[in-house]
Structures are given as C-alpha cells and as structure tokens.
Amino acid sequence: GAAARQDTAACKRVLTMRVVASPQEEAKINALFDEKDLDKSGGLDAAQMKDFMQEYVRTTPGNEEKLVSDAEVKCVFFTSHVTAWH
C-alpha cells in the first residue's frame, strides 16, 4: 500500500547514502530505481524492490551470480522504515 511505497522511497535514500561511493554509482541507483518504479509512485512494492535489488546486485562486479533473498528485501524495508523515522 501507500505506506510501503513511502518506506521504499526512504529506502532509495538509504541505499544512496550508504552504498554510493561515487556520483556514477548514485546515478546508477537512481536510474535503476526509476526503471523499477513501474507506476511512477516514487516508491517500490516488495516485488519491485526485490527486482531492483537483484538487478543492482547483478550489475555489481563480483556479484553477478548472487541471488537476493526475501529476507534481504525485508531487511531493506525495515532499514528504510527505521531510517525514515529518525
């Protein structure tokens, strides 16, 4: 629902703040997030978030074969929710 989408919008900020080592990486995250935000709501549902995370991981050198688990998706949702309130 709307709350989950808000949480994932916060997740975009969390990923950008915690993962980005360069402006190029930030641009990659933003472009991929926008691509996976199919309804252009500014947030992702769980399936979209998993797709986003899988694509991001797959395109990161050394992680081409890694699969993203549902638990990892839940962790990102939880982290984004906690971060959004602090």
Q: What is the pLDDT of residues 45-86, one digit of tens each?
A: 889 989 998 998 888 888 788 888 887 888 777 776 554 444
Which of 11-20, 28-37, 46-55 shows the lowest mean pLDDT across its residues?
Answer: 11-20
As given in the structure block, the two tokens for residue 69 are 């688990």
Cβ atoms of residues 26 and 15 within 8 Å? no
As given in the structure block, the two tokens for residue 63 are 């992680």
pTM higher than 0.75: no
Residues 6+ apart with CB under 8 A from 26: 16, 20
Residues 6+ apart with CB under 8 A from 27: none
Q: How far apart are CA 43 and CA 4, in angstroms?
A: 8
